Amino acid sequence: MFRVDEIAENSFKFLELKNTKDGSMARISLSEGGRLQNLKFNAISLIEDQANFDYKDSYASAILFPFVSRIENGAYTFNDKKYKFNCNQSDGKNALHGLVYNKEFKILEKKYSSNSCAVKIYYSEKNESQGFPFKYSMYLTYTLLKNELQLQVLVKNDDNKAFPFVLGWHPYFISDDLDSSYLNFKSDKKIMYDENLITKEIVSKKTVGKFHIESKQLDDCFVLEDNAVQFSTSKYHVQLSSNSKENFLQLYTPKNRSAIAIEPMTGISNSFNNKIGLQVLAPNASHNLKWTLKLL
């Protein structure tokens, strides 16, 4: 009933986790940072690539590490030393969405059972990249169960010096009627941005219960009071949760598309400078994080 297929299309490599009994499927792109390209439960699509919205522009389902969102001018200071990332934002102003979104991941392990299947993939950085001269490995374990997908992230510091980091995920969820779809989450604070989407301040703003999308053009970040966010459409209801102690939620609706990015994060825009959610990983230490998508 559960199986994993390896697929090659043109120069891209994919893995497909499948439940052949009910049409559930998770497709992972090894060639694009180990991202979740497609997700179906009971043959209903929750996540899929959008036409004319290339991955290089959307970062759809990208794993965000060592930072999320933006670093202002790509510059930061850590342990009294200055660093500067490549400013890969389209206007060249800021560093955007970390360093692993375009890396080639490799298969480490595949597992099957009567009620699930799983794959473990990895990427190891052996070179000192611009702005982040540290060696590390990232392991992603995707597990497909009935009506549930788990994504476990393990980051290991392979260097002899500590480094700062934040983790995030950038999935887009589709809806036939986005204006009538809504979220449920608990928050009492919101991140305020400047014109370049760099964190300016955190303000008090209570959000409890239904958050209606309607015709809003969202690019908003919230401090979550708990670790769960629910999304409801006319076809499905899903909950995205995390085992992280500190949780932030970024919401983004691209123009003229029936999709919304619901992004769980452990930090926020410019976290390498404002230190909000920033963690430090010691030499040879590891950090685990798990996100769970569950059909309700």
Give the domains, in start order, of the chain with CATH numbers.
2-295 (2.70.98.10)
Which regions in the chain score pLDDT beneath 70?
none
What pLDDT was estimated at residue 51? 86
Q: Using the structure block, give the residue that is written with the tokens 């070179």.
A: 127
What pLDDT was estimated at residue 139? 98
What pLDDT was estimated at residue 70? 97
Side chain identity, residue 293: L
* Structure tokens given for 154: 């393990």
What pLDDT was estimated at residue 129? 86
What pLDDT was estimated at residue 93? 92
- 89 DSSP 8-state letter: S
* Chain mean pLDDT for the chain: 96
Instruction: Quote the pTM value.
Output: 0.96
* Structure tokens given for 275: 């230190």
What pLDDT was estimated at residue 257? 87
What pLDDT was estimated at residue 92? 86
Separation CA 198–CA 215 (nearest Å): 24
What is the per-residue pLDDT across 194-229, written as a single tens digit (0 to 9) for each? 999 999 999 999 988 899 999 889 999 999 999 999
Q: Is 213 helix (H, G, I), strand (E, B) or coil?
A: coil
Separation CA 76–CA 84 (nearest Å): 6
- 105 DSSP 8-state letter: P
What pLDDT was estimated at residue 6? 96
What pLDDT was estimated at residue 208? 80
